[in-house]
Chains A and B, each alone.
Chain A
Amino acid sequence: DTGVSQNPRHKITKRGQNVTFRCDPISEHNRLYWYRQTLGQGPEFLTYFQNEAQLEKSRLLSDRFSAERPKGSFSTLEIQRTEQGDSAMYLCASSPQRARGAYNEQFFGPGTRLTVL
Chain B
Amino acid sequence: AQSVTQLGSHVSVSEGALVLLRCNYSSSVPPYLFWYVQYPNQGLQLLLKYTTGATLVKGINGFEAEFKKSETSFHLTKPSAHMSDAAEYFCAVSATDKLIFGTGTRLQVFP
Contact = CB atoms under 8 A, between A and B. Distances in A.
A33 B41 CA distance: 19
Contact of A45 (B32, B51, B99): B99
Interface stretch (A63-71, A80-88, A101-109): A101-109
A111 B104 contact: no
Interface residues of A, number: 25
B99 A111 contact: no
B26 interface: no
A113 interface: yes
B61 interface: no
Nearest to A10: B41
Contact of B43 (A48, A105, A110): A110
A110 B4 CA distance: 23
A31 interface: yes
Nearest to B100: A45
A2 interface: no
Given A91-B43, A91-B44, A108-B44, A42 B104 contact: yes
Interface in A20-53: 31, 33, 35, 40-45, 48
Contact of A105 (B49, B90, B98, B103): B49
Contacts of B74: none
A4 B103 CA distance: 23
Interface string B10-50: 00000000000000000000001000100001111110010
Interface of B: 4, 9, 32, 36, 41-46, 49, 51, 90, 92, 94, 97-104
Interface of A: 4, 31, 33, 35, 40-45, 48, 55-56, 91, 93, 103-111, 113
Closest A-B pairs by Cβ, 4 of them? A42-B101, A108-B43, A45-B98, A108-B44
